[in-house]
Homo-oligomer: A and B are copies of this chain.
Amino acid sequence: MIIVSGNPAGPSQPAVIVSQDDEAAIRALEDRFAAAFNAGDIDAIMKNYLQDKSLVVFDVVPRKQYLGADVYRKDWEEFFTHFRGRPKIAIMDLSITVDGNLGFSHSFQHVTGTDTQGHPVDRTVRVTDGYRKIGGNWLIVLEHISVPVDLKTGKADSLYPYSYSPG
């Protein structure tokens, strides 16, 4: 049974109950991620990801890809050095699809804070995550973060998501 968040399931069946539990577990994982981000706690952030070399991340910033939890952890360490104080994140419009031991989601994530020069940071990124349930626990195994880019000018949409209508 596939549960798509926001589409209530039909009459209860055992398989449905399991999947709804899984959808709730993935939502709780994303809540833990946001709480860890807001606390600036990289250890707690990384607990939500697959802890081996097979983690794959396409981040909003170069490089081409991040392969493995150790490499992605360094990306998070670098990220927090760009801020004065602790940036904050809010996960918006999280939609989860789950079946069996696999799931994926999409959301918008709004980051606010102050950079090291004292300038405000206010940025929304698009995030898709792939999840696997391993040993009873859901983990992010594939993450893709981006902003749209005008390919004519090569410029990211810095006013995103305010400069054009929602999808």
Contacts and interface: CB of A to CB of B under 8 A. Distances in A.
Contacts of A108: 64
B63 A164 contact: yes
Contacts of A157: 62
Contacts of A66: 167
A128, A150, A166 interface centre (most CB from chain B within 10 Å)? A128
Given A130-B97, A155-B154, A166 B65 contact: yes
A130 B130 contact: yes
26 contacts: A2-B102, A2-B132, A4-B54, A56-B106, A58-B146, A60-B148, A61-B150, A62-B148, A62-B157, A62-B160, A63-B167, A64-B161, A64-B164, A64-B166, A67-B167, A71-B167, A97-B130, A97-B142, A99-B101, A100-B102, A104-B130, A146-B149, A147-B149, A149-B156, A154-B156, A155-B155
Given A104-B104, A156-B156, 18 more contacts: A58-B106, A58-B128, A58-B146, A60-B146, A60-B149, A62-B157, A63-B148, A64-B148, A64-B166, A66-B167, A98-B102, A99-B99, A99-B101, A99-B132, A100-B100, A144-B144, A146-B149, A155-B155
Interface of A: 2, 4, 54, 56, 58-67, 71, 95, 97-104, 106, 108, 123, 126, 128, 130, 132, 141-142, 144, 146-151, 154-158, 160-161, 163-167
A98 to B, nearest CB: 7
* Shortest Cβ-Cβ A-B pairs, 5 listed: A146-B146, A65-B167, A100-B100, A99-B102, A62-B148
